[in-house]
Chain A
Amino acid sequence: MRQIALYGKGGIGKSTTAANLSAAFAERGLKVLQIGCDPKHDSTRMLMHGANIPTVLDLVRERGVEPITPHEVVFLGFQDVRCVEAGGPEPGVGCAGRGIIATFQLLEKLEALEGDVVVYDVLGDVVCGGFAMPMREGYAEEVYLVTSGELMSLYAANNICKAIARLARHGRSKCRLGGVICNSANTHPREQELVEEFARRIGSALMGFIPRDRMVQLAELHKQTVFEYAPTSKQAQIYRTLAVSILENGSLTIPIPLETDQLETLALAYI
C-alpha cells in the first residue's frame, strides 16, 4: 500500500490535484482511498459529483458513543475512488487538530485504511500536532508539497519541510519528502524555474508542473474532476503523467528547510 500526503498553503490547489491524481491512479486499476483532512471538507467533492459527503466528525458529533460503520463514512466516488472527509468543529471553537487524530483512530478501528493507494489531502499549514497526524508512523510515508511560485506558498511548503525534518529526527518515523508539485498561479514567467530551484535547495525534486488551465474551473462548474469532464484534455494528460511520476518515484528524502531570508533571496532571484 502506498500512502501519500499532499500538503500546501490553503487555496493552492491541493484538493484539485489530489482528486485528479486519485482518478488517475484509479484509471490504472489501483484501489484508491482519498481522505480529506481539512476542516473545509471539500477534498472529495469533485470525485463525489458535487455532493458534500457526511464527515467523520459530523457522525461522531451526532452519534456520540453509538458505533459507526465503515459504509457511513466511506463513499464511492468517480471510478470507485473511496472518499472520506474528516471534517471538523464549527469554525472558531474546539480543536480541529484533535479532530484529525480522532478521525484517524476511528478509521483504524473501522479498518477503513486500505487499498493500493491512500491519498491524504491535508490542510495548508501544520498549525499544531493534529495536522501532522498523517505524517505519523503507520500513515503517509511520502509527502508531496503543492506550491506555486508565490512566496507565501513556498513559505508554507518550507514550514512543512520543517515538520518532516523534525519527525525524521525521531528515529522511528518513516515519513519522508517525496517531492514538490508546482501548481501554477501564473505568478511570473520563471515560476517553474523558481519552484524547481526551491525543490533542489530543500534536497528534493520537482515532480511535475501543472499549468493554470481554464479546464479546471470548467470541470469544477460541472462538479467533476478534469479526468471525468475532459478525459482526453491536455490537463488530464498532465495529471496522468504526474500520477506515473509519483508511482515510479523512488527518491524519498529528509528535507533541509530553508531560513526565511534564504527563501526570500531565492524568490527575489527569479522575479
Chain B
Amino acid sequence: MEGCTILGALSVTTGVKDALSIVHGPNGCAHHNFSLLHATLATDTDSRFPHIVSTHLSEDDIIFGGEEALERAIREGLERDVGGIFILNTCIVDTIGDDTAAVCRKSWRVPVIYLPTAGFLGGGFSRGMLNALQTLAIHAKPREKVPRAVSLIGEKNLEYEVEENYTEISRLLESLGLHVYLRFVRDITIADLTEISRSGLNILREPELMPLGDLLRQRYGTPFVDRFPRGFIGTLTFLQDVARTLGIPCEDAVAYEMEHQTRVLAKFQDLEGIAVHLGRDTSNSFLREMVDLLGMFERNDGIHLPIPIPEPVGTGGVERLFHHWRRTICASL
C-alpha cells in the first residue's frame, strides 16, 4: 500500500517557497495532506506551514461543476503574495470532468500550473511525486550551462535526514570541485524552476526517477547520475560516476574519501567481533558490506540490528547508521 498521488505531488509543490498549492476538491483532501506535510516538515529545521489551500467543494459544486470554485480559489490565492500557483486535482473533480487545465490556461498574473493528481487514476505517492517533478521540469528553456553546476533531482522532502543527505552530497561534490546549483524541488522559488536547464549534471535521488532524468537530458542536454551514493564502496563509485559523466579527474577525491572512510571505521573498532542479526532480509548486500566492514558477524541469536529505511546516503549516512547500531548494541549488552 502506498499513499495518495496527491500527497506525492504536494511533497514537491510545497518545496517551492513562494508558491501556493490549491487542492481542488473537498476540504478533507487538502486538510489531511496539510497535516501530514506539516507534521513531517515540523521536525525539520524550520516549521513553516506548507502553503496549501482547498477549493472547499461541496455537493452543489459536484452537481454543477467545480470550475467556478477553482477560479475563486485562484483569485483569492493571488491576493496573497505568491510567485505561482499549483492546482492539484482530487478524485471527485476528475470523476465529474472539471476542465482544470483550461482554467489554468486563462491569463493569470502569475503562472498557474495544473498537476493531474487524482488518486483513483492509478499510481501512488511515488507516481504523484514523479509526475509533479516532470510537470515542473518543462517550464525552462535550454540555456548555457553554469560551470560546475550540479542539480539534485527529486530529494525526498518527507524523509528524515533530507538535510543531512544534502550536506553529504554537497561535501562529495565539493571534493570534485563542483557545487549544488539547484535543489529540484526543495526550498526554491517559482523563478528558480527555469534554472533547471542550466546545470551541467543532474543527480537523481533514486533510480525510480530515471524517466525524469531522461526527460531533462532530452530537453536540456543535461546528463545524469541515477542515484544518491549508498555504502562505502557506493560512495566511491558515485565520485567516479560523477567525474566520468563530466569528464573531470577524480583520483584525488576518491583517495581522500577512502582515507576519510578509514578514519570513520576506526571510530567503531569496539564493535568488532560482535554477533548480530539483520532480520529476514539478509540478502541486502549493502547491509552485508557494513557488517563485514565493522568486523561483526551474523548469527541467528545475534543482536537484532535496525535496518535503516531509506538507506543511508554517502559516508556520512553510514557513520550515522554506525552510531545508531552502536546505541542498539550497547543497550542490549
**A and B found bound together:** yes
Residues of A within 8 A of B (CB): 57, 60-61, 64, 88-90, 93-96, 98-99, 102
| Residue B59 lies at the interface, judged by CB distance under 8 Å to chain A | yes
Chain B: number of interface residues, binned into ranges: 10 to 19
Having A90-B64, A93-B67, one finds 6 other A-B pairs with CB under 8 Å, namely: A57-B64, A61-B64, A64-B60, A89-B63, A95-B95, A98-B63
- Whether B64 contacts A93 by the Cβ 8 Å rule is yes
A64 to B95, CA, bound (A): 22
Check B62 for interface membership: any CB of A closer than 8 A.
Answer: yes
**Chain A residues near B67 (CB, 8 Å)?**
93
Contact of A57 among B63, B96, B97, B98 (CB under 8 A): B63
B98 partner residues in chain A, CB cutoff 8 A: 93
Is B65 located at the chain interface by the 8 A CB criterion? Answer: yes
Q: Among residues 35 to 88 in chain B, which have CB atoms less than 8 Å away from a CB atom of chain A? A: 59-67
A94 B59 Cβ-Cβ under 8 A: no
**How long is the Cα–Cα vector from A145 to B61 in the complex, in angstroms?**
32
Least distance between A144 CB and chain B CB atoms (Å): 27
Closest residue on chain B to residue A94 by CB atoms: B65
Question: Complex formed: what's the CA distance from A102 to B59 in Å?
Answer: 8
B contact residues around A89 at 8 Å (CB):
63-65
Residues of B within 8 A of A98 (CB): 59, 62-63, 96
Residues of B within 8 A of A96 (CB): 63
- Mark each residue of chain B from 96 to 124: 1 if its CB lies under 8 Å from any CB of chain A, else 0: 11100000000000000000000000000
Least Cβ–Cβ distance between A85 and chain B, in angstroms: 15
A94 to B61, CA, bound (A): 7
A64 to B58, CA, bound (A): 10
Q: Determine if B62 and A95 form an interchain contact, defined as CB atoms under 8 angstroms apart.
A: yes
Q: How far is the CA of A180 from the CA of B251 in the complex (A)?
A: 87
Q: Nearest chain B CB to A93's CB is how many angstroms away?
A: 3
B96–A95 touching, CB < 8 Å: yes
Contacts of A94 in B (CB 8 A): 61-66, 96
The 3 closest A-B pairs by CB, nearest first: A93-B65, A94-B65, A95-B96
Q: Which residues of A contact B64 (CB under 8 A)?
A: 57, 61, 89-90, 93-94, 99
- Please name the residue on chain A nearest to B68 by beta carbon: A93
Is chain B's interface secondary structure helix, strand, loop, or mixed overall? helix
Residues of A within 8 A of B95 (CB): 95
Give residues in B with beta carbon < 8 Å to A: 59-67, 95-98
CB proximity of A185 to chain B, nearest CB, Å: 33
Complex CA–CA separation, A99 to B59 (angstroms): 9
> What are some 17 contacts across the A-B interface (CB < 8 A)?
A57-B63, A57-B64, A60-B63, A61-B60, A64-B60, A89-B63, A89-B65, A90-B64, A93-B67, A93-B96, A93-B98, A94-B64, A94-B65, A94-B96, A98-B62, A102-B59, A102-B63
Q: Name the residue among B61, B65, B67, B95 with the largest chain A CB count within 10 angstroms.
A: B65
The residue of chain A having its C-beta at the shortest distance from the C-beta of B59 within the complex is: A102
Q: Which residues of A lie under 8 Å from residue B63 when comparing CB positions?
A: 57, 60, 88-89, 94-96, 98-99, 102
Among residues of A, the one whose C-beta sits closest to the C-beta of B92 is A95
* Cα–Cα distance between A96 and B64 once the two chains are bound (Å): 8
Which residue of chain B is the closest to A100 with respect to CB atoms?
A: B63
Give the residue name and chain of the B residue nearest to A87 (CB): B63
Kindly identify which residue among A60, A88, A90, A93 contacts B60, using a CB–CB cutoff of 8 Å.
A60
- Distance in angstroms from B91 CB to nearest chain A CB is 13
Residues of A within 8 A of B60 (CB): 60-61, 64, 102
Q: Shortest distance in angstroms between B95's beta carbon and chain A's nearest beta carbon?
A: 7
Bound-complex Cα distance A93 to B96 (A): 7
A94 to B63, CA, bound (A): 5
Q: In this complex, which of A57, A60, A95 has the most chain B Cβ atoms within 10 angstroms of its Cβ?
A: A95
CA distance A91 to B64 in the complex (A): 9
Q: Which chain B residues border A61 with CB–CB below 8 Å?
A: 60, 64
A95 to B64 Cα, complex, angstroms? 6
Complex CA gap A60/B59 in Å reads: 10
Most A CB contacts (10 A, CB to CB) among B60, B66, B67, B95 go to B60
Which of B63, B64, B66 has the most chain A CB atoms inside 10 A of its CB?
Answer: B63
User: Which residues does chain B contribute within 8 Å of A102, judged by CB atoms?
Assistant: 59-60, 63
- Given A95-B95, A95-B96, CB of A90 within 8 Å of CB of B65: yes
Give CA–CA (A75, B60) in the complex, Å: 23
B142 smallest CB distance to A (angstroms)? 39
Query: Which residue of B64, B65, B66, B97 has the most chain A CB atoms within 10 A of its CB atom?
Result: B64
- Within the complex, what minimum Cβ distance (angstroms) separates A88 from chain B? 8
Question: Chain A's nearest CB lies how many Å from the CB of B90?
Answer: 14
**CB neighbours of B97 from chain A (8 A):** 93
Minimum Cβ distance to chain B for residue A71 (Å): 22
Contacts of A57 in B (CB 8 A): 63-64
Chain A residue with minimal CB distance to B96?
A95
User: In the complex, A89 Cα to B60 Cα: how many Å?
Assistant: 10
Q: How far is the CA of A192 from the CA of B22 in the complex (A)?
A: 58
Q: Which residue of B lies closest to A96 (CB)?
A: B63
Give the shortest distance, in Å, between A224 (CB) and chain B (any CB): 32
Query: Nearest B residue to A93 by beta-carbon distance?
Result: B65
| A64 proximity list for chain B (CB < 8 A) | 60
Interchain nearest-CB distance for B215 vs A (Å): 33
Q: Give CA–CA (A98, B95) in the complex, Å.
A: 11
Question: B128 to chain A: closest CB distance in Å?
Answer: 24
Choose among A64, A88, A94 the residue with the greatest number of B CB atoms under 10 Å from its CB: A94
